[in-house]
């Protein structure tokens, strides 16, 4: 006798359907659940980096260094704004809104950005996480005929279709026409498709304009609003792993 096997579907991330991606109404008519778009986004995101670096996997608003930043007069306003963004994450992502964190080395920009990405991942949203130098290196590999990586167009589509794109160290790469072209194409596509970004940079706005171009910075402002400035001492010298 063959035993019956029950195939379990993953739960609906929005709690509306039985995990199938469809809702059947009282007239026995099936309608797509809101979770279908999330599942499709997750499928499209395969091939981009969605993993938090080990150093940031336990980052929390309730633990150092973020809890200390929340008490510091120089950073508490920014922490409050980041927390407000996370608390209403779905609405912000639906509207294509993001965050732009700016400040000196070691002031907590990357930590706060990783905290946003962690919450997005835990909310079952598709996320791509890259430092700018690593992202550009990944794009360059798509041009290698012997590489097993995705084609440029395939990777670009994945990168621009995730719910949240996280780019660290914006402006860290030496500028060139190619770099400017890649950055503008990515940011402009995210802007046009209303998909959020979280970015960090050590550069002031005027310096960033010189480094990556006025058009790209203008699009970033449209997506992320004005940069959130972080000031203070180097937290890395205080909170060693």
pLDDT in tens, 67-121: 999 999 999 999 999 999 999 999 999 999 999 999 998 899 999 999 999 999 9
Mean pLDDT of 182-194: 96
What was the pLDDT predicted at 103?
93
* Annotated domain spans of the chain: 36-231
Kindly report, residue by residue over 49-64, the tens digit of the pLDDT: 778 888 998 999 999 9
pLDDT on residue 4: 41
Q: What is the pLDDT of residue 32?
A: 72
Quick: pLDDT tens for 129-173.
Answer: 999 999 999 999 888 756 666 789 989 999 999 999 999 999 988
Lowest mean pLDDT among 83-87, 174-178, 190-194: 174-178
How confident is the model over 14-35, as pLDDT tens digits? 677 776 666 766 665 666 777 6
Per CATH, the homologous superfamily of domain 36-231 is P-loop containing nucleotide triphosphate hydrolases (3.40.50.300)
Average pLDDT over residues 179-187: 95
Rounded Cα distance between 155 and 35, Å, is 23
């Amino acid at each position: 006798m063959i035993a019956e096997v029950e195939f379990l579907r993953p739960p609906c991330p929005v709690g509306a359907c039985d995990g199938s991606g469809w809702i059947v109404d009282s007239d026995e008519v099936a309608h797509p659940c809101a979770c279908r778009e999330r599942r499709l986004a997750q499928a499209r995101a395969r091939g981009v980096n969605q993993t938090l670096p080990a150093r940031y996997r336990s980052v929390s608003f309730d633990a150092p260094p973020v809890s200390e930043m929340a008490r510091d007069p120089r950073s508490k306003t920014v922490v409050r704004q980041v927390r407000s963004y996370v608390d209403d994450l779905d609405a912000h992502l639906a509207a294509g809104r993001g965050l732009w964190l700016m400040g000196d080395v070691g002031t907590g920009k990357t930590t706060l950005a990783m905290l946003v990405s962690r919450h997005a991942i835990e909310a079952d949203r598709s996320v791509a996480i890259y430092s700018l130098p690593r992202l550009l290196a990944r794009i360059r590999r798509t041009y290698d005929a012997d590489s097993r990586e995705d084609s440029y167009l395939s990777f670009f589509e994945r990168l621009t279709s995730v719910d949240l794109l996280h780019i660290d160290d914006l402006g860290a790469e030496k500028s060139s026409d190619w770099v400017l072209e890649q950055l503008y194409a990515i940011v402009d596509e995210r802007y046009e498709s209303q998909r959020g970004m979280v970015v960090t940079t050590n550069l002031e706005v005027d310096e960033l304009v010189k480094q990556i171009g006025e058009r790209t910075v203008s699009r970033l402002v449209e997506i992320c609003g004005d940069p959130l400035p972080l000031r203070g001492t180097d937290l890395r010298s205080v909170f060693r792993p």
